[in-house]
Amino acid sequence: MKRVLIIGATSAIASACARLWATEGSEFFLVARSAEKLDQTAADLQGRGAGNVTLHLMDATDIDAHPAMLQACMSALKQIDIALIAHGTLPDQKACEQDVNLALKEFANNGTSVIALLTLLANQFETQRCGSLAVISSVAGDRGRPSNYLYGTAKAAVSTFCEGLQARLFKVGVHVITIKPGFVDTPMTQGLTLPAALLAKPAQVAERIVAGIARKAPTLYAPGFWALIMWVIRSIPQPLFKRLNL
C-alpha cells in the first residue's frame, strides 16, 4: 500500500496514474480546484480498490495556500510515499505575446507554482528521508520553439529545478523524477491539430509514469520515443533551427 499525494488530481494523466495505484489499495490525498471533479475521482478510485481518499480544494497558483495543504496531507497520510505534481495549463502563445499579464499568469501556472510546491515538498521529503517526488514537465521544455516558447520556458525552468533537486535529495534517499510527456489526448489538447501517430492516450502515459517511479528513473519521456525526437530537435544547429516552423 502506498500513500500518495496528487496535486492536479483531476487532470487526465494524474487520474490515470491514480487508477493504477488504486488497484494496489493505496491511500490518497487529492488536490484540485473542482469539488465536483474531486468527488468523481474519489468515487472512481474507491471503486477500483483504493483505501482512504482525502480531498482538498486548492488552486495550485495560490502559493499562500500551499503550507496548509501540506499540513492537511500529513495529518491524513502521516507520510508521503509518492507525491505527483500534475497541474498546469496550455497557454495561447500568440495571446501571451500580446499581453504581458497573461504571459506572467501562464508562467505562474506552469512554472512558479510548481517550483513553490517543489520547494515545500522537498523539505518534507528531506525530513522523511524516503519517498518519490514526481513532477510532470514537458518535452516543450527541451528547446524553445516559436509555437509555444512561453509554455516551454516554464517547463524548462521546472525541469532544471528538478535536476538540482535530484542531486540534493538523492543524498538523503529521496527519488525525484522529471516526467516529460509529448502529445497526449487530453482535454488540454482538444482542438489542436496534432499528428495522430504521435498522440498518446493518458492510460498509456500513466503506465509508463507508474513504472518509471517504481524503478526510480531520473527523467522519463512519455511515450519513450520522445527521447529520440527531442534529441534530434536539440541537435539542430541554431542557424537552421530558427528558420523552422516548429
What is the C-alpha separation between 246 and 233, in angstroms, rounded? 10
What is the average pLDDT score of the chain? 95
Q: Is the pLDDT of residue 246 over 90?
A: no
DSSP, residue by residue, 158-176: HHHHHHHHHHHHHTTT-EE
- Which one from 21, 125, 151, 221 is the annotated catalytic residue? 151
Arithmetic mean of pLDDT, 163-183: 96
Given this model, what pLDDT does residue 244 score? 87
pLDDT value, residue 197 = 73
**Quick check: is 149 catalytic?**
no
CA 135 – CA 133 distance, rounded (Å): 7
Q: Is the whole model's pTM more than 0.85, yes or no?
A: yes
| Position 224 pLDDT exceeds 90 | yes
pLDDT digits (tens, 9 = 90+) for 104-152: 999 999 999 999 999 999 999 999 999 999 999 999 999 999 999 999 9
Q: Locate the DSSP E strands across the chain.
A: 3-7, 27-32, 53-57, 82-85, 132-136, 175-181, 219-222
Q: What is the pLDDT of residues 23-64, one digit of tens each?
A: 999 999 999 999 999 999 999 999 999 999 999 999 999 999
- CA–chain centroid gap for 229, Å, is 20
**What's residue 131's pLDDT?**
97
Whether 191 has a pLDDT exceeding 70, the answer reads: no
Look up the CATH architecture of domain 3-241: 3-Layer(aba) Sandwich (3.40)
The string of pLDDT tens digits covering residues 192-204 is 667 777 888 999 9
Name the residue ranges covered by the structural domains of the chain.
3-241
